[in-house]
Structure formats: C-alpha cells, structure tokens
Structure 1
Amino acid sequence: MFLLINDNTVADSTRTALKKFSKGDFYLYQNKNQEALTQFQQILKDHKGEEIEDETILRIGQTYQELTDYNNALSFYQQIIDNHPESIYRDEALFFSAEIYNKHLNQPEKAKPLYEAVLFNHQDSIHFVEARKNFRQLRGDSNL
C-alpha cells in the first residue's frame, strides 16, 4: 500500500484517484465484488491515462478471476500486457494469465509463452520460481 500511495501521489496531488481506489479495495475486503468492480471501472473512466490506471486494471482482472469469469480477467490482464509495457504489474498480468490458461481453461499451449515471458523478461518477479516450475512441467521436464 505504501508503494501504491508513494507512486501515485505525485500525479494525483489531491489523492482523488487514490481515495476511490482505496474505497474499491475496501469493497473487496468486504467481499462486495460487484461494488468494487463498479468503483474500479469508474476510476478507469475518470482517470484515464494516469499512473493508477495499470494498478486498477490489474485489480479488475484479479476480481474477475476470483469470480471465475476467466475471459474477462484475461482481457484485463491483456490490456496491461499490450498497453503498459513499462508497468511494474506486467509480470503479474503475464503470470496470472498463464495460471488461468494452465489451471482453469486447460490450454497449456497458451500458458507456455506467458510463463516463458516471465522467465526471460522479469527475472526479478516474485512469480519467477513458480513460473519456471510450471513452464518446465508443461515442457515435460522429468527433473523438476
């Protein structure tokens, strides 16, 4: 939370978007997923192009994933991958997309390049070890 606030305070000196974001996060904490989605969608509409956009898109994707609406989750993760190449959340979007394809949609061939992107482009990711393990498993390595 500290990093989120710190990263977005410069661009949002009145903290309007951050207040809306925290309200959406609070809805998630209360398991009010639809209200949270509405709140996050409003942030995307009102604060298009601001620094908080990529975090908001990720949070929407995670919420849809929790609701088992995998196609919507994948579309939001894809927005981060396509439109925010310098985002610190890109590795998470890649990893979460790979997990959906691998574990929920049974499409391991679509998961492999996503895991591979984490391995080659995001070695500092907290998901690196898990991505490597899952990639090797999908590749058919016998010595994991």
Structure 2
Amino acid sequence: MTMRTGKGNSYWSVVSSVRFSGWAKLQLGDYYILTGKIWDASLAYSQVDKAFREDQLGEEARFRNAKLAYYRSDFEWAQGQLSVLKASTSELIANDAMYLSVLITENIPPDSVMTPLQRFAYADLLLFQNKDKEAEALLDSIAQAFPKHPLNDDILMLRSRLAVKHRDYKLALDYLRQVYEACKNCGKDDLLRDDALFRTADIYHHFLEQPVLAKQYYEQLILDFPGSTFVQTARQKLAELDNPEPVIP
C-alpha cells in the first residue's frame, strides 16, 4: 500500500511539473509579445497547444494564438479557432472567445475595408504591450476618422480597461455607462451591455470596495440577462458578498 501511494505521489508530481512547464511556456509566449517577437510567441503557444491538446491548458494556448492572429489582422484564421473555443468548458475562455468572435464578425464590412478593425486590433496589442499612450492615440484616430463606426462602443470598452489600469475608476465607470446606454438605445445585441454591467460590478466590488453597489449591478446582470455567460460568475460573486470571509485579527 505504501509503495502504491509513493508511486501515485511520484505520478502526480510529474503531472504537476509538466503542467507547470506548460503554463511557463504560455507566460514565455506573452513575454515574446511584449518584446515584439510575434512569431516566437505563436510558436510557444502552438507547442503548448500540441502538448495539452485535450486539456484546458491547450484551450488557453489556442485562445492566445487566436488573439495573436487577431492582433496581426488575420481575422479569418482567428475566427476559425474562436468558433471552437466558444464551446470551451472554461467559462473564462468561452466568454473571451465569444466577445472576440462577435467583435470580428460585426466589424468586417461588406466592402472589405478593414482599416478600423485593423487599427483597433493593433491598439489592443499596444495596450497589451503597455504602450498606453500609443494605444489611446490610435483609438482617437479611429473615432475621428470613423465617427459612426460600430467599433465606437468597443473603443469605449477598451478605454474603460485603460482607465482601470491607471486607477481612474470614475472615468472607467463613465465609459461603461456610455457603453450600456449606447447599446441599449441602438438596439445592438446584449453582449456588450452585460459585459459593461459585469465590469461595473467588478469595479465596485474589487477596486472601490462598495459591496452594496456591486451587488446591485451583479443582480441587475442576472435579472436582465439570464442567458449571459457572465451569470454564473455573477452568482459566485454575490455569494462572496453575502458570505464574506471573516477578518482574522
């Protein structure tokens, strides 16, 4: 019995080591993106995808490669990957894949003029690379050159991420409010509206530490968008707020 337990421990130790190696390679891929080595990043993600094909780690690698293709404006290839990842068992991966897929689908025009989406994708890449001022300038150029483009709501979402990054939570909340109202008034699908509600709740919950307002927005999300992919997470967050962990003195 002791011997079997020992072998089991050895087995799980190897599994843990292999998975750690996979996660480390994903982080290496991210580092390559930060340093502008796009093809090296793609290779690193592809290696993890191949090594963990039937594992959530492989799905994460595929999503990062799809996001990388989106950054490079290879929207068709990205969509091919995202169409599968939308059914991921990981709620986070499925949510991210759904958003990116809809973003691409809704902003590829019939005339095949990709300029706004290409600029937006590149601004997203610049944000990932912590080149915030360049990203903001590029977002400004899209809004000025294409004032009525459908991407404008997504630009506001990206600006809200920038504001959170710089701890300007009031500005972030204002951007999210604009997204919610704009999508509500234009009859656009609910994808950005539920996202805006969730991000609003998250800011009140984790950054401003205002649980009453956080609960209000989590509950609104659950009631108004029962089919949202954010509902399960919102319920978990509500449970956290209703049963906070005791503070140990």
Question: TM-score, normalised to structure 2's length?
Answer: 0.52
Give the letter aligned to residue 131 of structure 1. Answer: A
| Structure-1 residue corresponding to 2:198 | 95
* Secondary structure in 2 matching 1:113: helix
In the alignment, is residue 35 of structure 1 matched against residue 138 of structure 2? no
Name the counterpart of 2:105.
6
- What is residue 145 of structure 2 aligned with on the other side? 46
Question: How far apart are residue 11 of structure 1 and its match?
Answer: 6.1
Q: For 2:239, what is the secondary structure of its paired residue?
A: helix
Aligned-partner Cα distance in 2 for 1:64–1:130: 23
Corresponding position of 1:75: 174
- Residue deviations 1:45-84, cap 9 Å, x none? 3222221111111111112212222111111111111111
Residues 11 and 36 of structure 1, relative CA distance in 2, 3 Å threshold = farther
Amino acid at match of 1:129: Q
Larger Rg over CA atoms: 2
Q: CA deviation at 1:23?
A: 1.9
2:211 is matched with 108
Cα 1:75–1:12 shift into 2, 3 Å = farther
Residue 135 of structure 1 pairs with residue 238 of structure 2: yes
Q: Cα distance, 1:12 vs. partner?
A: 6.4
Question: By how many angstroms is 1:44 displaced?
Answer: 2.3
Checking the alignment, whether the CA contact within 8 Å between 1:9 and 1:15 is kept in structure 2 is yes
Identity %: 29
Are 1:60 and 2:159 counterparts?
Answer: yes
Q: Distance in 2 between matches of 1:56 and 1:45?
A: 12
RMSD of aligned Cα (Å): 2.0
Letter in 1 for 2:234: A
Question: Number of residues paired by the alignment?
Answer: 141
5+ residue gaps, structure 2, are 1-69, 71-78, 80-100, 245-249
TM-score, length of structure 1 as denominator length: 0.85
> Are the counterparts in 2 of residues 57 and 77 from structure 1 also a CA contact under 8 Å?
yes
Q: Secondary structure at the match of 1:106?
A: coil
Deviations 1:93-128 (A, max 9, x none): 111111111111121222122111210122232321
Q: Take 1:12 and 1:71, find their aligned partners in 2: how far apart are those partners? A: 38
Paired residue secondary structure (2:213)? helix
